[in-house]
C-alpha cells in the first residue's frame, strides 16, 4: 500500500539524515493525513516527494511520533497540516512557522463544532472527539479549498512551477466538483433519513448532503461487544435507522449481528489513511455508491 | 533564557488549540532549552490553571528514561542538560495522575538554543 511505502521511505530517510548522507533531488513535503498527501502529490507531480509518516495501524489524529520522526518533519521543505484539530502531535512539537501551512485555515468559518465525548481504545490512550470535527475532506467543496491552499503553499515557496501547479489544481478541483455532484445525486434519497455510524467521522458528509447521522464509538474493523450491540439496538429504536456505516470492514459475524436489527451495513472508509485500493476520489465514489445502494435496499 | 513572549505564545497556542481535538482540562506541556544549560518544562491545564503536582519523565529516542523529577508548585521543572544524554533529542512526559501529555525536543531544537 502507498502509505506503507511512504512509511518505509520515511524511516529510510530518517536513517540517512543521521549520517549526513541524505541525497534529495526535489522538495520534500510532509502531510498529516492521506487526503492532504494525495492532493499534494497530485499538485506537485514528479517535482518532489510527499510523505505521510503515520503507520497504517495508527489513527493519524492521535499518532504519537518519535523524536526522529519530528526531526524529519522539521527538515521538510513544507509541512501541510489539516487544521480543525486534526493530528494532536502538531501541538506537541516545534514546527518551523515559515514552512508550515494549515490547509484548512480558509475554511475555519465552516468547521463543525461537536459534542464532548471522551473515551479510549487501542494504544492511543484516552482521547476525545470534543471540539471541532476534523475530517473536513469528506465535504468535497472544503477539500477543494484545502487543495487550493496546498497549491498556493507550493508555488509561494517555489517548490513547483506555477503553471504546472495551476493546471493540476484545475483538474483536481474539477474532479472534486464532479464528486460533489455525483454524491449529491446519489445520496439525495437519503436526505433526512436516519443513519448510524460506528464512529464520529462523517460530520462534513452529513452536513453537505443533508443526512441525519447518529454516531457510536466503536473501534474500527472490530467485532462489537454485547454492550455496544445493546447501544446500537437502542439507537435503532430511537432513530429508526436502517443503515449502519462502518469506517472499516468488520468481521462477517459483526455484519450478521447488526443485520438482526434490520440494518444494512455500508463500509465507508473516511480515508485518514490511504484506501486499500485506488485513490482517494475513487474510494469515495465507491463508498458513495455503496451508500446509495443501501438506501435503495432500505426502501428510502 | 527562554524569551518570555515565545514561552507565552507556545503555551497560549496550546491552550487555545487544545479544545480543537482534546478533552476539557487537558494537560498542556511545553519544554525548551534555557541558556544551553537546562531543559525547562512547563505544564498547565487547558483551562489556564498551573499543574502544581506531577511527575516529569525525560526520555531518549528509544523511550529510555533518562531522568525523573517532580513539578514545582509553579508548574515547572528544570533538568540540567549536562546530566543527561540529549544527543538524540528528548521526549518530555508529564503525568499529573489524571492527565498526561508530552513535548518533543529534537536535536535541532536543542542545538538551536546552544548557538549552533
pLDDT above 70 for A6: no
A116:B14 CB<8 A: no
Tell me the three cell numbers of residue A10.
Answer: 520515511
Given B21, B90, B108, which is nearest A88 (Cβ)? B21
The pLDDT assigned to A114 comes to 87
Q: How far apart are CA A215 and CA A221, in angstroms?
A: 15
CB A86 within 8 A of CB A61: yes
Q: Across the interface, do B19 and A126 touch by the CB < 8 Å criterion?
A: no
Contact A130 B109 (CB under 8 A): no
Percent residues over pLDDT 90 in chain A = 83
Chain B residues touching residue A65 (CB < 8 angstroms): 104
Taking an 8 Å cut-off on Cβ atoms, the answer to whether A127 and B23 are in contact is yes
pLDDT of chain B, 116 residues: tens digit per residue: 344 444 444 444 433 333 333 345 789 999 999 999 999 999 999 889 999 999 999 999 999 999 999 999 999 999 999 999 999 999 999 999 989 999 999 999 999 999 76
Q: Are the CB atoms for A251 and A223 separated by under 8 Å?
A: yes
Which of A33, A70, A94 is best to mutate for the B interface (most B CBs within 10 A)?
Answer: A94
Model confidence band, residue A126 (pLDDT cutoffs 50, 70, 90): low
- Average pLDDT over all residues of chain A: 90
CB-nearest partner of A74 from B21, B60, B106: B106
- Render B23-90 in DSSP notation, one character per residue: -TT-EEEEEEEETTTEEEEEEEETTS-B--S-EEEEE-TT--EEEEEE--TTSEEEEEGGGS--TT-E
In Å, how far is B92's CA from the nearest CA of chain A? 10
Instruction: Find the length of chain B.
Output: 116
Rounded to two decimals, the pTM is: 0.86
- In chain A, alpha helices (H): 2-19, 34-44, 67-74, 140-156, 162-187, 203-208, 226-239, 252-259, 280-297
Please state, for a pLDDT cut of 70, what percent of chain A lies above it.
86
CA distance A204 to A206: 5
Compute how many other C-beta atoms are within 10 angstroms of the C-beta atom of residue A286. Answer: 16
Give the range among A1-5, A121-125, A162-166 with minimum mean pLDDT: A1-5
- Do the Cβ atoms of A294 and A287 come closer than 8 Å? no
**Which residue's entry shows cell 535541532?**
B108
Amino acid at each position: 500500500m502507498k502509505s506503507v511505502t511512504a512509511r518505509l521511505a520515511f524511516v529510510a530517510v530518517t536513517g540517512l539524515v543521521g549520517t549526513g548522507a541524505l541525497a534529495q533531488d526535489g522538495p520534500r513535503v510532509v502531510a498529516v493525513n492521506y487526503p492532504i498527501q494525495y492532493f499534494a502529490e497530485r499538485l506537485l507531480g514528479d517535482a518532489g516527494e510527499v510523505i505521510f509518516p503515520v503507520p497504517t495501524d495508527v489513527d493519524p489524529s492521535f499518532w504519537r511520533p518519535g523524536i526522529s520522526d519530528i526531526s524529519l518533519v522539521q527538515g521538510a521543505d513544507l509541512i501541510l497540516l489539516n487544521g480543525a484539530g486534526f493530528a494532536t502531535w502538531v501541538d506537541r512539537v516545534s514546527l518551523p512557522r515559515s514552512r508550515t501551512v494549515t490547509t484548512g485555515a480558509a475554511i475555519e468559518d465552516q468547521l463543525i463544532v461537536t459534542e464532548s465525548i471522551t473515551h479510549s481504545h487501542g494504544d492511543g490512550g484516552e482521547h476525545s472527539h470534543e471540539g471541532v470535527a476534523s475530517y473536513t475532506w469528506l465535504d468535497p467543496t472544503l477539500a477543494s479549498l484545502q487543495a487550493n491552499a496546498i497549491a498556493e503553499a507550493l508555488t509561494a515557496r517555489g517548490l513547483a512551477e506555477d503553471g504546472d501547479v495551476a493546471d493540476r489544481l484545475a483538474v483536481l478541483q474539477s474532479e472534486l466538483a464532479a464528486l460533489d455532484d455525483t454524491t449529491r445525486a446519489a445520496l439525495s434519497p437519503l436526505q433526512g433519513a436516519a443513519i448510524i455510524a460506528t464512529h464520529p467521522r462523517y460530520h462534513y458528509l452529513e452536513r453537505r448532503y443533508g443526512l441525519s447521522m447518529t454516531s457510536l464509538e466503536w473501534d474500527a474493523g472490530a467485532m462489537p461487544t454485547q454492550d455496544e450491540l445493546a447501544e446500537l439496538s437502542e439507537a435503532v429504536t430511537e432513530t429508526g435507522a436502517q443503515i449502519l456505516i462502518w469506517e472499516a470492514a468488520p468481521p462477517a459475524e459483526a455484519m450478521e449481528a447488526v443485520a438482526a436489527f434490520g440494518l444494512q451495513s455500508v463500509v465507508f472508509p473516511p480515508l485518514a489513511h490511504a484506501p486499500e485500493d485506488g485513490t482517494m476520489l475513487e474510494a469515495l465514489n465507491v463508498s458513495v455508491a455503496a451508500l446509495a445502494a443501501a438506501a435503495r435496499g432500505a426502501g428510502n | 533564557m527562554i524569551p518570555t513572549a515565545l514561552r507565552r505564545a507556545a503555551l497560549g497556542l496550546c491552550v487555545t488549540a487544545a479544545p480543537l481535538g482534546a478533552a476539557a482540562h487537558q494537560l498542556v506541556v511545553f519544554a525548551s532549552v534555557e541558556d544551553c544549560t537546562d531543559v525547562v518544562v512547563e505544564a498547565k491545564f487547558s483551562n489556564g490553571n498551573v499543574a502544581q503536582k506531577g511527575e516529569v519523565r525525560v526520555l531518549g529516542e528509544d523511550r529510555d528514561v533518562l531522568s525523573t523529577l517532580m513539578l514545582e508548585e509553579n508548574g515547572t521543572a528544570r533538568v540540567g542538560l549536562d546530566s543527561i544524554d540529549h544527543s538524540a533529542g528528548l521526549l518530555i512526559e508529564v503525568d499529573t495522575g489524571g492527565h498526561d501529555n508530552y513535548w518533543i525536543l529534537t536535536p535541532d531544537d536543542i542545538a538551536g538554543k546552544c548557538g549552533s
